[in-house]
Amino acid sequence: MIFSETRYDSMQYNRCGASGLKLPAISLGCWNNFDGGADRQNMACLLARAFDLGITHFDLANNYGPPAGAAELNVGKILSKEFSEHRDELVISTKAGHHMWDGPYGDFGSRKSLVSSLDQSLQRMGLDYVDIYYHHRPDPETPLEETMGALDMIVRQGKALYVGVSNYGGDLTARASEILQSLGTPLLINQVPYSMLRRGIEADLLSQAGDLGVGLMAFVPLSQGILSDKYLQGIPEDSRAARAEGTLQPKAVAPEVIDKVRQLNGIAQARGQSMAQMALMWVLRNESVTSALIGASRPAQIEENVAALEQSEFSVDELARIEAILAS
């Protein structure tokens, strides 16, 4: 496949924590729309359009599907064909820590689980290594020293270039970073939920990350589509909120929430942006946030999200108005 020669001209790349690695301000998550029933042509178009727009980071996890492992398998097939000459231009990440296989070793954060899972992930994706390997969630039953020791060993084995954690709070991130530093493998990044409607990391992690030299990857920056124009007129029949088994519950799009989004949308329109574009830039306004992780079902969504970078600055008045709406 031939990609655009200008793919690096417009994307913003941010240094991740205290490392030498730069990540695109917008990264592509390969969870929804990369499952076992997904259309191969659409998946390839999503990855290709993202790359053409300068998105070099594709994010996965061992359990992304359904079925678990399907996303890694699908992305791996596309990488081996369409991206075969561009592996060194890509940052591929995956994770382990949620249930993956039966028995005591297919979950959480033991050395056995993390090493076995990565071996399986590399086989599914047809890769010799991943660029970033995450522990997907804290494990209260496994000593943190064991989990971090496994990540350090994986880097030394050449199976990952960098390691990260996901869903770790401030104190646990600090402990994980200290352990990894003592082993000689710095903690690169923490992937955490962060959006206008989900601001838990502001209590500690957002300010601590810089001191720790750890980058932050913000996932669900659009609150699963709530911070877009999708729900402004109600719940569409084809939306996640309309599905009984969906990951977005109807209470998340309650009238009082949508009223706030409508008010925020007015500010976005005055800025010349869509609601989604403003929400992404609001997340990225803090220098501790290295990248915002988006999902997409159509290439046009990726184009809209990347175009948000054309209007990245906020005035003091805009930020004050946004804060007042969110606090109401």
Average pLDDT over residues 152-177: 98
CATH code, domain with 90:
3.20.20.100
Average pLDDT over residues 172-197: 98
| Domain-embedded: residue 5 | no
Cβ neighbours for 49, distance < 8 A, ≥ 6 positions apart? 299, 302, 303
What's the confidence (pLDDT) of residue 240?
57
Question: Does position 123 have pLDDT exceeding 90, yes or no?
Answer: yes
| Rounded distance between C-alpha atoms, residue 199 and residue 322, angstroms | 13
Tokens representing residue 198 in the block: 């989900």
| Domain-embedded: residue 325 | no
| Domain-embedded: residue 256 | no
Question: Does position 180 have pLDDT exceeding 80, yes or no?
Answer: yes
What's the confidence (pLDDT) of residue 222?
97
| Rounded distance between C-alpha atoms, residue 96 and residue 121, angstroms | 9
Average pLDDT over residues 55-68: 98
Banded model confidence at residue 33, pLDDT cuts 50, 70, 90: very high
Average pLDDT over residues 201-208: 96
DSSP letter, residue 308: G
DSSP letter, residue 8: T
**pLDDT tens-digit series, residues 74-88:** 999 999 999 999 999
Count: domains in the chain: 1
Question: Does position 235 have pLDDT exceeding 60, yes or no?
Answer: yes
The SS3 of residue 41 is: helix
Q: What whole-number percentage of the chain has pLDDT above 90?
A: 92
Mean pLDDT over each residue of the chain, to the nearest integer: 95
What's the confidence (pLDDT) of residue 251?
74
Range of the domain at 307: 13-224+280-312
Question: Does position 122 have pLDDT exceeding 80, yes or no?
Answer: yes
DSSP letter, residue 2: P
Which residues is 58 bridged to in the sheet? Answer: 28, 92
**pLDDT tens-digit series, residues 244-275:** 555 667 777 889 999 999 999 999 999 999 99
The whole-model pTM stands at: 0.95
What's the confidence (pLDDT) of residue 233?
79
DSSP letter, residue 303: H
Q: What whole-number percentage of the chain has pLDDT above 70?
A: 95
| Domain-embedded: residue 271 | no
Banded model confidence at residue 239, pLDDT cuts 50, 70, 90: low
Report the Cα–Cα distance between both ends of the chain, in Å, rounded.
Answer: 50
Sign of CA dihedral 150, 156, 159, 165: positive
Which residues is 27 bridged to in the sheet? Answer: 293
**pLDDT tens-digit series, residues 88-120:** 999 999 999 999 999 999 999 999 999 999 999
Exposure letters 160-187 (e unless 16+ CB within 10 A, then b): bbbbbbbbbbbeebbebbebbeebebbb
DSSP string for 193-244: E-BTTB-GGGGTHHHHHHHHT-EEEEESTTGGGTTSSTTTTS--TTSGGGST
Average pLDDT over residues 231-235: 78
Question: Does position 243 have pLDDT exceeding 70, yes or no?
Answer: no
| Domain-embedded: residue 317 | no
Average pLDDT over residues 129-146: 98
* pLDDT: which is higher, 235 or 117: 117
DSSP string for 264-315: HHHHHHHHT--HHHHHHHHHHTSTTEEEEEE--SSHHHHHHHHHGGGS----
| Domain-embedded: residue 79 | yes
Tokens representing residue 186 in the block: 């710095």
| Domain-embedded: residue 6 | no
Banded model confidence at residue 200, pLDDT cuts 50, 70, 90: very high
Query: Using an 8 Å Cβ cutoff, are 305 and 217 in contact?
Result: no
| Domain-embedded: residue 233 | no
- Closest by alpha carbon to 116, among 301, 104, 220? 104
Average pLDDT over residues 213-223: 98
- Measuring CA to CA, how many Å separate 23 from each of 16, 92, 278, 306, 308? 7, 11, 20, 14, 16
What's the confidence (pLDDT) of residue 20?
98
What's the confidence (pLDDT) of residue 308?
98
Which residues is 93 bridged to in the sheet? Answer: 59, 132
- Pair type for strands 22-24 and 13-15: antiparallel
